[in-house]
Chain A
């Protein structure tokens, strides 16, 4: 009999929680043949990334996943064999009681945030014994073999390579979004939180020698973009041009199309956790807008990732990459930082591709979770 898995997702803000849990749920079904229920407390965050989903349905099947509305008033259900609380979300009290009542308690995992910091290795897989006798386990994704790995579908890099090697596939995809970049233009994507340095970057792109076409999926950064053009919020489909820069606002796309967007672009500016990781798999130069935390705790996390990511770069390219990422995240001028990065473009491209290959050599997160469960039996 198939093992059953329950994944609980509480949508706190943005699309990171649901983005990660939806990918994980689909992969567990598609690649490991598991029966997965995904409990989501706000399906309005789910429908944009799963076209065809119904935000009002209490229960629906999507890509083989049993997607459930996580109701405020919990209704009794039999707990699954494996229970994942994503990002420290608190499970319904009645559900936890039902877990305790099972003859064999489920494997209860707390799936944590992605971080490249050293302490993650020392915390990954540690138990968290609860007062009621249940034992939760903290499971940390990460970039090293002593962590739970990264979310990556088995065929991801092969699909990416096939797409990137097919000019027709790329062109057809972009045409589907009404994107027609000028010949020789650098194609860029931007998915970020509000950023005070957006204007200095746009200035640099607009005054550069090479034409740039910036694709911006609908999101929080669009307000700043509109402000730079001196306009009211630009609606989806808007195309604006200033100097060498063309900006195009795209609709919010499905996860599959977001991957294709990243694969299509020469450079991807991303944010948070889910798009951050997908941009790494895209194997193109990238820029991460990290989630801002109190007391600038995110700076340490940014530097920890950079410490891994920068390895192998020449001193010059390393300095350029550092300058760019710090400028974007520490409110420094992006103009010079962008120009410096452009000086080392071929090396940054090669480095991004190698980084993806190196990371893909490690077991992926879904597989690591399945192994962890099997070993717990």
Chain B
């Protein structure tokens, strides 16, 4: 059993006996301290996709899934191939299946991901909670602020933009929290 607020990409729900993969989940605060979760679901039997909304406290049946460690092997167009680190089996996913983590997928990344399987089929990939990425472009710090409170935009290798502390420079590595769509955490120790 999962509640609406616990839904995240990679969760599979059982709705009316069909398995539905959560491809995207957006948490929003509604009125009077309540919240909703807007999701993009894909029916794993038919491929049909739909958008839905759940209340944060709605109770939903989730499917227990197999999980294995995997790393990104290569990208070819919209196709992303991951390798099971235990037996070197290759699995392919398309961009839509990993829409939620796509902004942080890039060639050469070394993160050990969690590959999510439903009935032996790879359906999704989850990134570690914290990942490190290199900044390829950002403006120079405006006033030499070192507090970390002043933010500015920065671009990663795959084109993703996010807000980072003003003191971050080009080529530096930063830590990103992947849980809420990718939030800058600090300068990476890498």
Contact = CB atoms under 8 A, between A and B. Distances in A.
A294 B60 CA distance: 25
Interface in A269-294: 273, 291, 293-294
Contacts of B61: 131
Given A126-B38, A126-B52, A127-B52, 17 more contacts: A12-B32, A112-B36, A114-B31, A119-B28, A119-B38, A123-B28, A128-B55, A129-B15, A129-B16, A129-B52, A130-B58, A131-B13, A131-B15, A291-B31, A293-B29, A293-B32, A297-B29
A127 B50 CA distance: 9
Contacts of A129: 15-16, 20, 52
Given A126-B51, A128-B58, A131-B14, A138 B32 contact: no
Nearest 8 pairs of A and B residues by beta carbon: A113-B31, A133-B16, A138-B53, A297-B29, A131-B61, A126-B53, A88-B55, A129-B15
A294 B51 contact: no
Interface residues of B, number: 26
Chain B at the A interface: SS class: strand
A87 B31 contact: yes
Nearest to B20: A129
A339 interface: no
Interface string A107-146: 0001011110101001100111111110000100000000
Contacts of B34: 87-88, 113
B52 A130 contact: no
13 contacts: A113-B31, A115-B30, A117-B28, A123-B53, A126-B38, A126-B52, A128-B53, A129-B15, A129-B20, A131-B15, A131-B60, A293-B33, A297-B33
B54 interface: yes
Contact of B36 (A12, A138, A293): A138
A177 to B, nearest CB: 30
Nearest to A88: B55
Contact of B38 (A88, A123, A131, A294): A123
Given A88-B55, A110-B55, A128-B52, A123 B32 contact: no
Contacts of B59: 131
A117 B53 CA distance: 16
A130 B13 CA distance: 10
Contacts of A113: 30-32, 34
Contacts of B38: 119, 122-123, 126
A110 B20 CA distance: 22
A291 B32 contact: yes
B31 A273 contact: yes
B11 to A, nearest CB: 13
A126 to B, nearest CB: 5
Contacts of A273: 31
B48 to A, nearest CB: 12
B38 to A, nearest CB: 5
A293 B14 CA distance: 33
Nearest to A14: B32
A254 B15 CA distance: 44
Interface string B71-87: 00000000000000000
A112 B29 CA distance: 12
Interface string B22-58: 0000101111111010100000000000111111011
Nearest to A138: B53
Contacts of A123: 28, 36, 38, 53
Interface in B86-134: none
A119 B13 CA distance: 24
Nearest to A90: B57
B181 to A, nearest CB: 14
Given A126-B38, A130-B15, A131-B60, A87 B52 contact: no
Contacts of A122: 38
Contacts of A117: 28
A5 to B, nearest CB: 21
